[in-house]
Each structure stands twice: as C-alpha cells, then as structure tokens.
C-alpha cells in the first residue's frame, strides 16, 4: 500500500472547475426554483420534512419509511396513493416514501434514452415528479439517482419543484458509476450546484446520504462510517451551506452495533436522520426466516427512536426483497406487521438499561473523530484543499473506501487483517462474506484443491454494478485455491472488460451482477470478445433478472435461461464455478 497521498495522483488534470462559481450558480437558481407545494407539507402545516421530523420525535412517535419505485410511473403513482390509503384506513401512518428511481435516471435527460436500464422508476417529464408527490400526504424522499449522478442538478430541480425536502443520495456519489460515463468532474460539479441550490431554499432541505450506499458497506470499522458522517457534514453544511442527513442500516445486521451506531450518529448530527434502512443483508430465500430478521431489526430501531430519537424513520422491508423489488400489497403487509410490532412493544423501552450500548457508541464517536482528523491532515499534506467542496468530494470518491480506511482508519495497524487494521468496532458485512468464502474452501476435497492450485489458473473478477460482496466472495475462494486474480474492478463496462481480458490473457471471467443488466451486459461482452478474437468461459452470479420490455407488472423476471443461451455459465452458487474448475484442472493435468 502506498503510504501517502499526493495531489498530482489524485487530480492529474491541469485545472478543476471553480467551486465558488458552482456554489454561486446553484444559489442563483434558488431565486427561481423553490420547494413546490405538496399534500404532505399542506396536510401537516410544515415548511419541510425536517420540521415535521423534529415535531414527531418530540412527541415520541416512531416514523415509518416505505420504499417505492416501479418501472412504470402509473404503477408507482398508484403505490403512492394505495399504500397510504390502506394504512390510514387501518389507523396507521406511512410518513415518507423513498422513491427509487432507475439508475438510467442518473444520466442527463437528453442522453437517457439509449442508456442501460436497471429495475427502477423511469420518469419522462418534469411534471411526472409532481404527479407522484401529489398522490397522498406522505413526504417524498427522492433518495436515489438524484444528487451524485451526472443528472444531479436537473433532477434536484425537478425534485424541489415537486415539493421534496429530502434529496439524495450523496452516498451513491462516492461509490456508484453510471455505465459508459467517465466524467467524474462533471458529476461532482453538478452535485456541488445541486447542494448549493437546496441549501439556499428558505425551507430546510435535507441532503440525504445513505452511508451503506457509500463507504459503510465496504469499511471494516464502524468508526470509519461515523467519521464519514463528520467529513460529509463538513463539506455539505460548512462549505456548501446546506444540511446533510444520514441513513444507514442495509448492512448493519448485528443488533448490538446497529443500536450503538444509531446512538453514535445521533450524537454527532444536527439535522434529523432520514431513515434507518432495513437490514436487507439479513434476508435470504426463506420468507418465514426473513420475518424473524424483520422483527429483530425493527424492534431495535423502534427502541432506538423511543429512547434517543434521531429523527430517522424506521423501514420495514418486505420479506420478498432478496428476490426482487417488492410489489404494492407486500409493502402494505409489512407495514401492518411493523405497526403492530411497535404497538406491542410499547413498554419495552421503559424496562431496559442499556449503558453498555452507550459505551460502544462512545468508542465509535471517538474513533470517528480520529478518522476525520487523520483524513484532514493527510489531505492537507497532499495539497488537497479541505475547504474546497469540489476537491473534497472528488478526492474522496477517487481515493475510495478501501484506501481511505487503510490510510486514515483509527484502528490499530495489524498485519494480515483486512485493510491492515484492527477495527475499533467491527462492521460485520465484509468479514461475513470472507468467512463464507473460507467455508467453501474448507468443504472441498483436498486432492481437488491441490489439482486446481497446480493448474495455475488466471481469473478476471469484475462486477457490472456497485454490488461487490459476490465478487469478494469469489475472490476469497479463488485466493484460497491459488488462482491468480486479475481485478477487473466494479461497475466496469462490457467493452472495457473485453479489451481488458484480451490484454491480460486470463483463463476465465467471473462476473457478479445485481442490477437487472446481466443479460445486456453478457450479450455485449460476448460480441466484443468475439470481435477481439477472445474465447473464454464467462461465469456469472448475483441477481440475474431484468424487467422485460413492455412488462405490465414492472417486476423483474429471471434471465438465467437466456444467459445460458448467450453463452454464459450461470452460477446460482459458487459451487458451480468450483465444479467447472475441478473439470478444467483435470483437463489441464491430463
């Protein structure tokens, strides 16, 4: 690992856009673009969701967040109205909707049409945004593929006009890459303008950042995730004059540290949190088992809000989530469950004493400050201006989570550990994946293991999108088998991967794909490989589905059959790859 940063490596370009001019441009736009009317703001008589959140927290109410966003805008509008209506009829309230835009919405509108699509909502006209938010008195949270994408500024304008006062997702800015989009300076400049525009509104607009979408899912230390809150607050609040609000939860599957992190974040945040996301990494194929996971994280999150309210809404995620985007009825059902659970557990918070949790929260906060201080010192020494929002954003994005933790993590340096450090408070997600990988090796026949090792294979590992755990799993197994790993990276484009494998002369490609783009990706990869005269086995695992063109349910369907026809080897389990490797090693030994 290179020990130090230097400006020329982080910013090889001769010049970067002027941050002050970008801030001024965003603020100027606030003279014409203002938060529009919405049934939510009107119904509760508030100027922003932040104001509402403070009122509800004060009253001790546990707020509820539902996630919606079907490909078809009409179905999404129906969900907006129907989920609220049915819960209202049952005497419950859904406070906010996270509107899940498709990742193609992250391209500027003029270029969107022919870009790869995922599984989320696609809106054509600016009026579509208000048409959504006018369906019910529920706070619209435009939380994905708005700020942080190349379309960040234009999407923020649309979101504000439609009455949204929580807009994101800064977490995505740091880690997501739109396929075929390489201009990260443009994306950053659009983010700075968007944040300035939101910050200049008379109403308090929250700049949402889901830590798990950003670096938290890749840090091994929760103190680094807390440090990310401190650093983002410096950039958004101090440098851009806006209000950052954080979300976490997807990968926080251990009850103890989940609650400790809620406590820790509550201590360092001035704005109310957006939502504590459901612990979606706890979900598997069995729905009954998923209900146990749901109850476990939900009761804890409700308890956290009752005892030390941080303004986060809690988020019951439908138990079908591991398979695909949940349908409308499933969202309603899980909210019925959540409301009942919160009601039944009413006395719980007055019974327990949880000082132990506060001690863990103290460690997270202290470690977070060390991370922030180390980062500021390292950046300053490298010549990166810590008072320039554009430089801060871009440097953090380019350096990436792994190197940031290696360089600035507060954990004690320890050889042989992931990121070279012993975490202050361990995040379990990545280590769990590694342990699963080691399990595969341990279960193998030692003779086959040895034969594969001797064969000396070279494998290129890559992902089509931000989901990286599948790749880390395969990487752990390959490393354990002595297979040489050639890293194709995350969110790579198919044509770049084809060129890369030609240059690297590998024996196989192991691809992980989760965003509903697998089929298009493999077809393009195969075509490009053919053009380059390369013929290699392509193994693929993950969430292998897509929304068929013209689908009337907006739900994705499995494409394993089509992928096999397109020439890929579909791996619902790593074992499929291991069996093939065993065969290939037999052939090479013969």
List residues near ligand B12 by CB under 6 A: 100, 103, 118-120, 144, 176, 212-213, 217-218, 250, 280-281, 283, 321-322, 324-325, 433, 465-470, 473-474, 510-512, 514-516, 539-543, 545, 556, 571-574, 577
The least CB distance from residue 217 to ligand B12, in Å, is 4
The least CB distance from residue 380 to ligand B12, in Å, is 29
The residue behind tokens 């304008």 is 157
Nearest residue relative to ligand B12 (C-beta): 541
Q: By the 8 A CB rule, do 211 and 242 touch?
A: no
Q: Whose Cβ is closer to ligand B12: residue 176's or residue 457's? A: 176
Q: Whose Cβ is closer to ligand B12: residue 432's or residue 527's? A: 432
The least CB distance from residue 69 to ligand B12, in Å, is 7
Task: Tell me the CA distances in angstroms from 354 to 260, 504, 528, one per residue in order.
Answer: 10, 54, 58
SS3 5: coil
Q: Whose Cβ is closer to ligand B12: residue 118's or residue 152's? A: 118
The least CB distance from residue 309 to ligand B12, in Å, is 24
Nearest to 273 by CA among 308, 235, 247: 247
Nearest to 406 by CA among 419, 391, 417: 419
The least CB distance from residue 511 to ligand B12, in Å, is 6
Q: Whose Cβ is closer to ligand B12: residue 140's or residue 378's? A: 140
CB-neighbour burial class of residue 432 (10 A; exposed 0-12, middle 13-18, buried 19+): middle
Q: By the 8 A CB rule, do 333 and 288 touch?
A: no
Q: Whose Cβ is closer to ligand B12: residue 322's or residue 336's? A: 322
Residue by residue, DSSP assigns 28-90 as HHTTT--PPP-HHHHHHT-SSHHHHHHHHHHTTPPPBEEEE--SSHHHHHHHHHHHHHHHHHT
Residue by residue, DSSP assigns 410-479 as -SEE-TTSGGGEE-SSB--HHHHHHHHHHHHHHHS-HHHHHHHHHHT-EEEEEESSS--HHHHHHHHHHH
Q: Whose Cβ is closer to ligand B12: residue 384's or residue 404's? A: 404
The least CB distance from residue 108 to ligand B12, in Å, is 17
Q: Whose Cβ is closer to ligand B12: residue 12's or residue 285's? A: 285
Q: Whose Cβ is closer to ligand B12: residue 48's or residue 401's? A: 401
Q: What share of the chain is helix, strand, coil (3-state, %, to 5)?
A: 50, 10, 35
Nearest to 300 by CA among 352, 359, 246, 368: 352
Q: 127: Cβ–Cβ under 8 A, 6 or more apart, which residues?
A: none
SS3 206: strand
The least CB distance from residue 60 to ligand B12, in Å, is 29
The least CB distance from residue 126 to ligand B12, in Å, is 21
Q: Whose Cβ is closer to ligand B12: residue 56's or residue 463's? A: 463
The least CB distance from residue 466 to ligand B12, in Å, is 4
């Amino acid at each position: 690992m290179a020990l130090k940063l230097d400006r020329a490596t982080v910013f090889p370009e001769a010049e970067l856009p002027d941050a002050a001019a970008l801030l001024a441009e965003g603020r100027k736009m606030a003279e014409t673009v203002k938060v529009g009317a919405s049934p939510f703001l009107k119904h509760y008589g508030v100027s922003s969701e932040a104001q509402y959140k403070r009122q509800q927290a004060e009253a001790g109410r546990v707020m509820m967040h539902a996630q919606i966003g079907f490909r078809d805008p009409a179905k999404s509008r129906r969900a907006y109205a129907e989920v609220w209506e049915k819960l209202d009829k049952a005497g419950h309230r859904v406070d906010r909707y996270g509107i899940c835009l498709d990742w193609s919405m992250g391209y500027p509108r003029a270029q969107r049409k022919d870009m790869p699509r995922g599984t989320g909502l696609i809106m054509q006209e600016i009026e579509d945004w208000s048409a959504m938010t006018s369906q019910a008195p529920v706070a619209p949270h435009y939380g994905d593929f708005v700020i942080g994408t190349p379309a960040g500024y234009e999407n923020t304008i649309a979101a504000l006009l439609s009455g949204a006062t929580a807009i994101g997702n800064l977490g995505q800015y740091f880690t997501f890459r739109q396929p075929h989009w390489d201009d990260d300076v443009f994306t950053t400049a659009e983010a700075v303008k968007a944040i300035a525009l939101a910050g200049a509104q008379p109403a308090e607009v929250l700049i949402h950042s889901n830590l798990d979408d950003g670096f938290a899912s890749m840090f091994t230390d929760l103190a680094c995730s807390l440090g990310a809150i401190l650093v983002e607050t410096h950039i958004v609040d101090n440098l851009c004059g806006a209000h950052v609000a954080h979300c976490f939860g997807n990968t926080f599957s251990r009850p103890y540290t989940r609650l400790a992190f809620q406590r820790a974040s509550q201590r360092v945040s001035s704005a109310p949190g957006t939502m504590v996301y459901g612990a979606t990494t706890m979900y598997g194929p069995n729905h009954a088992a998923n209900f146990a996971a749901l109850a476990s994280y939900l009761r804890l999150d409700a308890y956290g809000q009752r005892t030390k309210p941080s303004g986060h809404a809690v988020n019951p995620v439908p138990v079908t989530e591991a398979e695909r985007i949940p349908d409308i009825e499933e969202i309603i059902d899980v909210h019925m469950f959540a409301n009942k659970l919160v009601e039944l557990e009413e006395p719980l918070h007055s019974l327990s004493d949880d000082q132990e949790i506060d001690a863990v929260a103290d460690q997270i906060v202290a470690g977070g400050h060390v991370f922030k201080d180390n980062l500021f010192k390292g950046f300053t020494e490298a010549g990166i201006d810590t008072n320039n929002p554009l430089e801060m954003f871009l440097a953090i994005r380019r350096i990436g989570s792994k190197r940031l933790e290696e360089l600035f993590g507060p954990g004690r340096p320890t050889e042989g550990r992931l990121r070279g450090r012993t975490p202050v408070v361990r995040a379990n997600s990545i280590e769990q994946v590694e342990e699963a990988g080691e399990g595969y090796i341990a279960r193998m026949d030692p003779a086959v293991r040895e034969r594969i090792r001797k064969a000396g294979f070279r494998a290129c590992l890559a992902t089509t999108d931000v989901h990286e755990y599948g790749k880390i799993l395969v990487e752990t197994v390959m490393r354990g088998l002595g297979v040489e790993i050639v890293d194709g990276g995350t969110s790579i484009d198919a044509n770049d991967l084809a060129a890369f494998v030609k240059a690297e002369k590998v024996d196989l490609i192991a691809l992980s794909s989760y965003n509903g783009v697998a089929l298009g990706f493999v077809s393009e990869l195969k075509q490009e490989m053919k053009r380059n005269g390369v013929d290699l086995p392509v193994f693929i695992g993950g969430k292998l589905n897509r929304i068929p063109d013209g689908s009337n349910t907006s739900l994705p369907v499995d494409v394993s059959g089509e992928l096999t026809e397109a020439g890929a080897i579909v791996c619902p389990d790593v074992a499929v790859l291991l069996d093939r490797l065993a065969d290939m090693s037999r052939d090479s030994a013969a």
